[in-house]
Amino acid sequence: MDANGANAETRLYKPWGEPRYPGGMQPGFGFTGQRGEPALGLYDYKARFYDPALGRFIQADSIVPGAGNPSAWDRYAYALNNPVRYTDPSGHCSFSFNDGIWGFLQSCVVDVLDAVEAYQEGERRPDVLTMHATGGTDFLVETANQIHQLNSDLQTVFSDAPLSERLLPAVNVGSFAVGTAATIVGGAQLVKAGVETISVKTPYGRAWQSLDPDALSLRRQVSGGAEIYRGGALGKTNVAEGQFWAPENPLNPGYASRYGAGSYSGLPDFVIGGNLKPDTPFITRHAPGVGSNAGGALEIVTRANGVHINYFFMR
């Protein structure tokens, strides 16, 4: 773009990033928004350099996101060897825009966070930490400016701003977490601060904040002190340590089906109500289905013992 906002130049590329225009690679930002280094014939992907002629990175990835995917273990591969579908904004992690922003955060951040948590729990074996998704230090943490920007971006992500205005801040949050996680020792707390604002670890996997306007509205209500509820079956369902809560009373008809209750159908044996404890991480999302209970209603997922119990009622 020129100073007037008009298109000043068009650059076309082959699938792997080789320029289609005469003269080859040009200085400045080019393929997938990365800075070109014409003298080297490489693109600077922040964590490492990429060679479009080879369709490969020239350094091994120090993070192995999605270690369960055999393609992820080719540590020189670009975009899972599928540049038409995937892109790699950080040099560490491939994702598809079709998967949305949360797809990026889940595919690129959760494995790194697992490595951080393993380290904090005492794990020191490099091979085990690598299996969890990390292996080295590629980024330095510019703490003051990055934390300030992270706080600003998080406020935007969970605001009433249009979705188009929230997408870039959400990407910044994820990129910050990935970059910071590479400094697994010094950056562990910063990663957890960023990622746990938008996700909560549960026995069934990590639950992620929904960007649905109704989910964001519920999040604000819960932060403001709204009462939340939980029902269950005696001997089967957690009570105060439970992580899954609802904005409505479990005695309402159809509750078990709407919230995907896994331990009972029909009416619960007990009902508890309370308020979120201060500074407790939580997210709001549409409840997944369990068995014959379809789910779909908005629920609150908190850390265990994250709710102050106001009452306990048994039928």
Give the number of residues written for the chain.
315
Cα(77)–Cα(91) distance, rounded to whole angstroms?
10
Identify the weakest region by mean pLDDT among 105-119, 129-143, 193-207, 262-276: 129-143
Least confident of 51-60, 124-133, 243-252: 124-133
Band of pLDDT at residue 90, cut at 50, 70 and 90: confident
Does residue 228 register a pLDDT over 60? yes
Query: What's the pLDDT tens digit per position in 123-143?
Result: 555 544 544 443 332 232 333
Lowest mean pLDDT segment, chosen from 108-122, 127-141, 192-206:
127-141
What is the reported pLDDT for 229? 94
Q: Which of 53-57, 69-73, 276-280, 292-296 has the weakest average pLDDT?
A: 69-73
* Cα–Cα distance, 104 to 175 (Å, whole number): 9
CB 247 within 8 A of CB 218: yes
Structural contact between residues 185 and 119, judged by C-beta atoms closer than 8 angstroms: yes
Sheet of strand 282-286, all strands in order from the earlier edge strand to the far edge: 244-245, 298-302, 282-286
* Token pair recorded at residue 73: 């273990």
Residue 68 predicted with pLDDT over 80: no
How far apart are the two ends of the chain, measured CA to CA in Å?
Answer: 67
DSSP conformation class of 33: G
Nearest residue to 281 via CA among 170, 201, 180: 201
* pLDDT score at 136: 30
d(CA 305, CA 303): 6
Q: 120 and 139 in contact (C-beta within 8 Å)?
A: no
**pLDDT class of 194 with cuts at 50, 70, 90:** low
Q: Residue 41 forms beta bridges with which residues?
A: none
Confidence of residue 144 (pLDDT cuts 50, 70, 90): very low
pLDDT at 237: 77
Question: Could you tell me how many helices (H) and strands (E) the chain has, helices first?
Answer: 7, 13
- Whether residue 180 has pLDDT greater than 50: no
Integer-rounded Cα radius of gyration of the chain: 23
Q: What is the pLDDT of residue 64?
A: 57
φ, ψ of residue 271 in degrees (nearest 5)? -135, 135
**CA 204 – CA 223 distance, rounded (Å):** 24
- Reply yes or no on whether the pLDDT at 36 is more than 80: yes
228 forms bridges with which residues in the sheet? 274
Average pLDDT over residues 141-150: 46
Closest C-alpha among 87, 91, 121 to residue 103: 87
